[in-house]
């Protein structure tokens, strides 16, 4: 999969000129949406089919600061899966140096009820779990 790239905008920085920590969560979402699109099964398609995917857990480890105009390259990988949840690992780099690592965990709901991922999305499950 091709890494997602995000160029830090001026408004994403705090008074010290550093990217505000809360923006990394948005960057993760952008990268995750791009990753799903690259798999050919985007969130738009899921939502059109009545599926939502809320975040149920999140952790970030900030390693280095980023600033205005830095291009953050974000690699997304599946960190783990169960019948009801999927976790994504993110590695964010600027100029080859790791600036942040993170993990987000999501469930899938249809009409407010949990969905067994493998049963509801067999093709997507196969694409995600196929040996690389």
For residue 110, pLDDT beyond 90: yes
40-65 residue pLDDT tens: 888 888 889 889 999 999 999 999 99
Give pLDDT, residue 117: 86
Note whether 3 and 75 are within 8 A (CB).
yes
pLDDT-based confidence at residue 132 (cuts at 50, 70, 90): low
67-91 residue pLDDT tens: 999 999 999 999 999 989 999 999 9
Give pLDDT, residue 96: 97
Q: What is the DSSP letter of 23?
A: H
> In whole angstroms, what is the distance from residue 45 CA to residue 25 CA?
22
Give pLDDT, residue 78: 94
For residue 12, pLDDT beyond 70: yes
83-92 long-range contacts, CB within 8 A, separation 24+: 83/116, 83/117, 83/118, 84/108, 84/114, 84/115, 84/116, 84/117, 85/56, 85/117, 86/117, 86/128, 87/57, 88/28, 88/32, 88/35, 90/28, 90/31, 92/24, 92/27
Nearest to 126, CA basis, from 74, 81, 90: 81
For residue 114, pLDDT beyond 80: yes
> In whole angstroms, what is the distance from residue 77 CA to residue 79 CA?
6
Global pTM? 0.92
List the domains of the chain with CATH numbers: 4-129 (3.10.129.10)
**Average pLDDT of the chain to the nearest whole number:** 94
């Amino acid at each position: 999969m091709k890494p997602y790239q995000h160029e830090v905008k001026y408004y994403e920085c705090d008074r010290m000129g550093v990217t505000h920590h809360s923006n990394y969560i948005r960057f993760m979402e952008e990268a995750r949406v791009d990753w799903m699109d690259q798999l050919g099964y985007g969130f738009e398609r899921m939502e059109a089919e009545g599926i939502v995917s809320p975040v149920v857990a999140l952790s970030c480890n900030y390693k280095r600061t980023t600033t205005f105009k830095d291009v953050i390259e974000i690699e997304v990988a599946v960190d783990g899966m169960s019948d009801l949840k999927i976790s994504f690992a993110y590695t964010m780099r600027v100029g080859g140096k790791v600036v942040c690592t993170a993990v987000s965990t999501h469930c899938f709901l249809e009409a407010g009820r949990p969905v067994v991922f493998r049963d509801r999305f067999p093709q997507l499950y196969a694409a995600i779990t196929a040996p690389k």
